[in-house]
Each structure stands twice: as structure tokens, then as C-alpha cells.
Amino acid sequence: MRKLLLGFAVIAMLSIAAQAANADVIFDDFESGIDWVNSSASNYWWKYSDSGDIFNPALSSAGAPQGNNYLDIQSTDNNYNYYTGGTGHYKEMDLSAYDSFRLMVKGDSSWGSLKIELKEKDGDLFKYGEWTLDESIWLPINWTGWKEVIIPFSSFINDNPGVGNDTWTGDFVSANFIVSAPAGGSISWGLDDIGATNVVPEPGTIALFGIGMAGLLLISKRKK
């Protein structure tokens, strides 16, 4: 009986470990490169810039946080209006099983902010990040080096009311990243390992953990 209980406990713990290992889903890690031209390519990214400003997103391998490549963003605000440009990628994914957006961001300690837009199949557009003429809010990139950024989907705001069902369902089709730089200044950022994750364990994971712990406690009591 003790061996059977131990077996159940081990299986439960291994199941928890497997779920934890597979918690993240990747939208793009840039390992397949970027195609800026062919809109039908699976690795196609679009880019656009504010008139007169410099906005240069490009594939780089210098100091990638993991893997070989990341998206390097060099941008300068020549218009003193903060907004410099944006870039994005189309990829249909079912993110309904995840509770948070995740990405790695490289900062350079300059004042600036990143606006993230997520679009669903029904036309819903959810935003996280904004720039104003007096200050950077929502997601200021004010650190140096790589940092993991995790944003709950519940923190995204519906930016296109009345088009879809106005509710985040995870029926995801594209992401867009808009950059604001210091007025008259420049930023040097990086993006990598963009995707989704679970911060709050799923009910099934919690139940498995409970089964595993109960089995181990019972075994311990029987030994005594």
C-alpha cells in the first residue's frame, strides 16, 4: 500500500513539474529571423515610423538573453513629440489557457515607454501602455539590460469598443509594439521571447499538488 501511495504522489508531482515546464507559449523568439517585406511569410513583421523620426527595428544576435536572436530597436525622436514608431507581427494563437502576456525587454536607462496592442479575431483591440506629452505612463522602460516583463491580460484595456465582444478571450491574432522616446532623444531597446504564461496555477495543477502532498504526508505518518 505504501508503494502504491508513493507511486501516486510521485506521478502527481511529476505532472506538476511537466505542467510548469510547459507553462509558457512563444509568440516569437526571433530564431527563424524576420521578413520585413513578404507579408505572407510566417516570420513577417511590419514597421512604421513617425514622420521625421528615426525608427530602426532589426534582427540582432549581440547579447541575446537566450537563443541566437532578438529584435533590436534603435529610435530617435526628432519631432519632440515622444512617439517614434512601431512594429508588429501577425500570428494566430489560442491564448485562452494563459493569464498573462510575457516578454523579455532590454532597456538602456533612458526615459521612454512601450505601448503593447493585442488584437483578437473578432476585432477586439486591447492595449497596455500609453504615452502623453507630459510623462511616460503604463510601461516605462527605465532599466538597463534584460528584464522579464509579465503583464496580466486583465490589465489590458479595450481600445476598440463595439467592434468585437469587448472581452479578452485569448482568440489572438497579432501584437503591435509602439515606442515613445525621450523628447528629442534616443532609445536603444531589445525584445525577445514574446509570448504568454500562467502566473496563477490552473485548478488542475493545484489539485495535483494537493494529491501529491496528501500522499507524501500519509506515507510519512505510516512510517511513524
**What is the C-alpha separation between 130 and 184, in angstroms, rounded?**
18
Q: What 3-state DSSP class applies to 88?
A: strand
pLDDT digits (tens, 9 = 90+) for 2-53: 544 334 333 333 333 434 434 699 999 999 999 999 999 999 999 999 999 9
> Are 74 and 113 part of one and the same domain?
yes
CB burial class (10 A; 0-12, 13-18, 19+) of residue 219? Answer: middle
> Are 85 and 39 part of one and the same domain?
yes
Strand partners, 178: 86, 115
pLDDT digits (tens, 9 = 90+) for 213-224: 444 344 455 555
DSSP state of 74: E
CA dihedral 2, 4, 9, 13 (to 10 degrees): 140
> Are 167 and 192 part of one and the same domain?
yes
**What is the C-alpha separation between 182 and 187, in angstroms, rounded?**
8
> Are 72 and 153 part of one and the same domain?
yes
> Are 54 and 100 part of one and the same domain?
yes
> Are 123 and 212 part of one and the same domain?
no
CA nearest neighbour of 210 among 15, 3, 1: 15
3-state secondary structure 146-215: EEEEEEEHHHCEECCCCCCCCCCCCEEEEEEEEEECCCCCEEEEEEEEEEEECCCCCHHHHHHHHHHHHH
> Are 218 and 145 part of one and the same domain?
no
Question: Which grid coordinates belong to 168?
Answer: 479578452
Quote the number of domains for the chain: 2
> Are 102 and 123 part of one and the same domain?
yes
> Are 159 and 114 part of one and the same domain?
yes
CATH number at residue 171: 2.60.120.430
pLDDT digits (tens, 9 = 90+) for 158-183: 999 999 999 999 999 999 999 999 88
Q: What 3-state DSSP class applies to 145?
A: strand
> Are 134 and 110 part of one and the same domain?
yes
> Are 62 and 87 part of one and the same domain?
yes
Range of the domain at 32: 25-197
> Are 47 and 91 part of one and the same domain?
yes
pLDDT digits (tens, 9 = 90+) for 80-99: 988 999 999 999 999 999 99
